């Protein structure tokens, strides 16, 4: 009944769903470790999806589309950075504004492309390895986005923990006053971290509209940016935990679709709400266990240098 090919396909789609979340949450984790809470992830992601799709459709190149998506995400993140970092505006409100603007812009950019489709980003074929049953397509038959997300995670995990730049970034996030006193340009570092977050969210958007579901729909992110934000909390701001979290949520969102397909008499809307309910449950569990430990001490606090 359930043969290897089906299991393999299900696992592969879990990887695709998890990759979106992983890409976006890596970027947000870096921004938050530098002390800025950017609630604009959903907006930057959907702008990335729209711009990436438009650029890939126009140029015929998925690579150009991906680059355009990352640039678009970065540009939108600068709106947030300008408000929240340089004007010291409230970070929650600034992030919300970024998301609202992003949703609007993406709708405008994407409106000529409603109803069109693209050829999805191809799975990279590795001889022999990707022909293995089950493990083959899952581990070695993914598209470039999936591998990029793992590589990015490794780089970020290493960079934050083991490099000088990572140490400075964490210092800025823990105590911006102390970092400032040591001569580190707090706001510039935060801006760079937020820009990195924007590029990652844009990349996640590109993965969504160029690989995962290769078409444009104005609500295609469906709250994934918000789930990515929750994942950062869930990971207690540790990069490697993001991996587990992203795959857990990827699995929930894919498996509920398959359960809907079986038609067990469970309302499909209840199953569709599972990823959101799971996010709430995860937030509750993690905060009950840790009581906010692990959060950068200066997270969400605007920095205004007094000297």
Binding site for another protein (CB under 8 A): 39, 79, 82-83, 86-90, 92-94, 96-108, 111, 183, 185-188, 218, 222-223, 226, 229-230, 233, 267, 269-270, 272-273, 276-277, 279-280, 283-284, 287-288, 291-292, 304-305, 307
- Residue 17: CB minimum distance to another protein, A: 16
d(Cα 16, Cα 4) in Å, to the nearest integer? 18
Report, in Å, the least distance between residue 25 CB and another protein: 13
Q: Nearer to another protein by C-beta: 40 or 202?
A: 40
**Of 101 and 139, which has the nearer Cβ to another protein?**
101
Closer Cβ to another protein, 46 or 254, answer by number: 46
Q: Cβ of residue 44: shortest distance to another protein, in angstroms?
A: 12
| Bridge partners for 117 per DSSP | 215
**Number of alpha carbons in the 13 Å side-chain half-sphere of residue 188:** 7
Q: What's the min distance (Å) between Cβ of 263 and another protein?
A: 14
Q: State the minimum distance, in angstroms, from the CB of residue 173 to another protein.
A: 16
Q: How many Å apart are CA 136 and CA 124, to the nearest integer?
A: 12
Comparing CB distances to another protein, the nearer of 23 and 229 is: 229
**Which residue reads 């701001």 in tokens?**
237
- Closer CB to another protein, residue 47 or residue 138? 47
Q: Give the span between the Cα atoms of 282 and 234, in whole angstroms.
A: 7
Tell me how far CA of residue 58 lies from CA of 25, 61, 63, 66, 104, in angstroms: 29, 8, 12, 13, 21
Angle between helices 4-33 and 224-234 (to 10 degrees): 70
């Amino acid at each position: 009944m359930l043969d290897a090919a089906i299991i393999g396909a299900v696992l592969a789609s879990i990887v695709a769903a998890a990759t979106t979340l992983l890409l976006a949450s890596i970027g947000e984790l870096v921004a938050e470790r530098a002390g800025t809470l950017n609630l604009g992830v959903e907006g930057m992601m959907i702008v990335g999806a729209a711009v990436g799709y438009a650029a890939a459709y126009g140029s015929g190149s998925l690579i150009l589309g991906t680059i355009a998506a990352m640039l678009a995400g970065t540009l939108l993140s600068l709106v947030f950075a300008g408000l929240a970092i340089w004007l010291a505006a409230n970070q929650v409100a600034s992030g919300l504004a970024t998301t609202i603007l992003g949703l609007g812009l993406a709708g405008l950019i994407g409106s000529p492309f409603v109803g069109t489709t693209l050829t999805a980003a191809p799975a990279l074929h590795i001889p022999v390895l990707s022909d293995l049953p089950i493990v083959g397509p899952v581990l070695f038959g993914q598209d470039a986005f999936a591998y990029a997300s793992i590589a990015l995670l490794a780089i970020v995990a290493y960079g934050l923990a083991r490099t000088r730049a990572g140490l400075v970034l964490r210092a800025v996030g823990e105590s911006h006053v102390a970092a400032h006193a040591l001569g580190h340009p707090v706001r510039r570092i935060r801006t760079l971290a937020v820009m990195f977050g924007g590029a990652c969210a844009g990349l996640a958007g590109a993965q969504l509209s160029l690989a995962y579901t290769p078409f444009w729909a104005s609500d295609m992110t469906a709250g994934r940016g918000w789930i990515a934000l929750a994942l950062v909390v869930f990971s207690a701001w540790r990069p490697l935990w993001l991996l587990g979290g992203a795959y857990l949520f990827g699995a929930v969102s894919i498996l509920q679709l398959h359960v809907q397909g079986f038609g067990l008499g469970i309302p499909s809307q209840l199953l569709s709400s599972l990823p959101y309910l799971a996010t709430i449950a995860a937030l509750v569990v993690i905060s009950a266990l840790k009581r906010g430990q692990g959060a950068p001490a200066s997270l969400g606090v605007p920095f205004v240098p007094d000297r």
